């Protein structure tokens, strides 16, 4: 599995350009002419809406939204957020839930390594901090969102880990369609600045460990298996 960093020098990347690159790479991986690849990106500020996005999830102030072919609902991408797009061929039978759990595990292991314990929330994908009672009570908070598409046995889209974004950017929407929880970042939770540069090398290691057992064994450039015409969507 190869990693391609699309943010040399901290460059921000337009969402549409990377989405186009994903689609081209997806076709090549599905055809067996490109290796399993993970694109690492820091986007220009953008709102993207998955197929389950409701009208009330969207901004009401005219802010543009890009409609995309992943699962889930609306979210924000932008500066201070590390986005990983694995374009990889999964072993058969394809298990989308296991794939999402592997992405979650990679993020949880990354967070643990920098000193932040995280968890899953039943019925919701992503990586979370639990609710806290007592004075200054806090609701459940999501630090990483996940939304994927799997077609022809090959994945698209992926995960977004909040390192030090402007969390006010989530205020114009109902993030992931979840109104009874909040969005947070590594910086906000740890009380110190956590940059993408701090996190990226750790995420690479943990993504490799979590995803490798799910990949089609022995696939090399030039190999291909029968295509699955069905696309599988998971929730954000």
2-6, 43-47, 64-68, 148-152, range with the lowest pLDDT = 64-68
Q: Quickly tell me which residue has 């839930």 as its tokens.
A: 97
Q: Please, what is the Cα angle at 103 between 130 and 223, to 5 degrees?
A: 175
For 127-173, the pLDDT digits (tens) are 999 888 766 678 899 999 999 999 999 999 999 999 999 999 888 77
Percentage of residues of the chain with pLDDT beyond 90: 64
Confirm if 91 and 217 have CB atoms less than 8 A apart. Answer: yes
Q: How many CB atoms lie within 10 A of CB 161?
A: 25
For 79-118, the pLDDT digits (tens) are 999 999 999 999 999 999 999 999 999 999 999 999 999 9
Radius of gyration for the alpha carbons in the chain, expressed in angstroms and rounded:
17
pLDDT recorded at residue 13 = 94
Neighbouring-strand partners of residue 83: 41, 160
Three-class SS state of 118: coil
pLDDT recorded at residue 100 = 96
Can you give the pTM of this predicted structure? Answer: 0.88
pLDDT recorded at residue 172 = 77
In 190-230, the DSSP E strands lie at: none
Catalytic residue numbers, as ranges: 176
pLDDT mean over 61-78: 84
Confirm if 76 and 59 have CB atoms less than 8 A apart. Answer: no
For 38-54, the pLDDT digits (tens) are 999 999 999 988 888 88
Domains of the chain, by residue range, sit at 2-132+139-233
Query: Which one has a higher pLDDT value, 106 or 182?
Result: 106
Query: Which one has a higher pLDDT value, 74 or 119?
Result: 119
Neighbouring-strand partners of residue 48: 66, 75
| Cα–Cα distance for residue pair 110/126, rounded to 1 Å | 13
pLDDT recorded at residue 227 = 35
Mean pLDDT (the chain, rounded): 87
CATH for the stretch 2-132+139-233 = 3.30.930.10
Query: Which one has a higher pLDDT value, 33 or 222?
Result: 33
Find, among 138, 183, 148, the residue nearest to 165 by Cα: 183
Asked if pLDDT for residue 62 goes beyond 80, the answer is no
């Amino acid at each position: 599995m190869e990693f391609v960093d699309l943010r040399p020098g901290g460059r921000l990347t337009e969402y549409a350009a990377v989405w186009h690159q994903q689609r081209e790479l997806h076709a090549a991986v599905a055809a067996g002419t490109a290796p399993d690849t993970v694109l690492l990106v820091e986007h220009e500020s953008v709102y993207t809406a998955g197929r389950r996005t409701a009208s009330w999830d969207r901004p009401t102030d005219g802010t543009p939204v890009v409609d995309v072919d992943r699962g889930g609902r609306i979210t924000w991408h932008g500066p201070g957020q590390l986005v990983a797009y694995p374009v990889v061929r999964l072993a058969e039978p394809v298990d989308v839930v296991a794939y999402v759990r592997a992405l979650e595990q990679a993020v949880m292991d990354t967070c643990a390594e920098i000193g932040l314990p995280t968890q899953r929330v039943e019925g919701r994908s992503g990586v979370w901090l639990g609710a806290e009672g007592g004075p200054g009570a806090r609701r459940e908070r999501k630090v990483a969102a996940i939304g994927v598409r799997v077609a022809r046995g090959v994945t698209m889209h992926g995960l977004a880990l909040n390192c030090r974004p402007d969390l006010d950017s989530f205020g114009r929407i109902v993030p992931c369609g979840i109104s009874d929880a909040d969005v947070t970042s590594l910086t906000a939770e740890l009380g110190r600045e956590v940059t993408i540069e701090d996190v990226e090398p750790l995420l690479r290691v943990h993504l490799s460990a979590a995803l490798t057992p799910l990949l089609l064994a022995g696939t090399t450039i030039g190999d291909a298996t029968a295509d699955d015409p069905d696309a599988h969507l998971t929730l954000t």
